[in-house]
Amino acid sequence: MDFKETESKYFELKGRLDAGALTPEQFQAEVGELRVQDDEGRYWTIDARSGGWLLWDGSKWVESQPPGVVSAPPPTPAPAPGPRRGPGPVLLIGALAVAAVLCLVSLGGAGLILTRSGGPSGVEEPAAVSQQEAERIADDLVADEFPDLVDAEKTIGSFENPAGTQFWTITYREDKEGEFEGVTYDIPYVVIVSVDKDDGEAIAAVSG
């Protein structure tokens, strides 16, 4: 995409957000995928909060104006808002995943906690980590450390801690049979991987 196409896509997403067709988390994730590389090889993106252009200067995103772009096109009118909806399932899954991690640690049920740095590969451009990239980071960690869970049931959520740091949560679960006093039970084997949305650092907690 070029700069004008990227701007048009942003305002399309903004209209869907205003209409209630996207949650704020979904909107930020979609905008986080918008990237443009200019003729000099520099990377540009759009600030999800302000709609202004940001330039990657090699260490951080800074406000700037792309070459040849005079002003952003006006946003298209958003359709009338639909019925107000409550928290989506992704938010609920994220909250449950965080609670599960805290319970595992406080109860001593976390047999292992691992950390791993991740983020976009190739060109050095540590930007906001998309849901797809977070899933790849988590899958790689699980494949290396918990190969038995590669094909396990998987759910993806999102949460923000009290400090304002946002994470993707990827939960892997597989029930395994265990026997106690002659009775066979299905024992859940669970790994929860939290991936920082800013730098891709992953933290895994495991129980089972």
Q: Under 8 Å CB-to-CB from 75, ≥6 apart: which residues?
A: 11, 14, 15, 51
Q: State the average pLDDT over residues 48-56.
A: 87
61 DSSP β-pair partners? 56
DSSP state of 80: P
* Two structure tokens written together for 20: 């209630």
pTM exceeding the 0.85 threshold for the entire prediction: no
- The pLDDT, as a whole number, for residue 114 is 57
Report pLDDT for 125: 46
| Confidence at residue 69, expressed as pLDDT on a 0 to 100 scale | 60
Domain ranges, ordered by start, for the chain: 3-63, 89-207
Q: Give the span between the Cα atoms of 44 and 148, in whole angstroms.
A: 40
Quote the pLDDT of residue 128.
Answer: 78
Mean pLDDT of the 154-165 span: 79
Q: Is the pLDDT of residue 152 over 50?
A: yes
pLDDT band at 38 (very low <50, low <70, confident <90, very high): confident
Task: With beta carbons less than 8 A apart as the criterion, state whether 169 and 93 touch.
Answer: yes
Alpha helices (H) in 20-86, listed in sequence order: 24-32
Distance CA(46)–CA(33), nearest Å, equals 10
The DSSP 8-state label assigned to residue 41 in this structure reads S
122 SS3 class = coil
**What is the tens place of the pLDDT at every residue in 98-135?**
555 454 444 444 455 555 555 444 444 444 788 888 88
pLDDT at 174 exceeding the cut of 70: yes
Report, as an integer, the average pLDDT of 40-50: 87
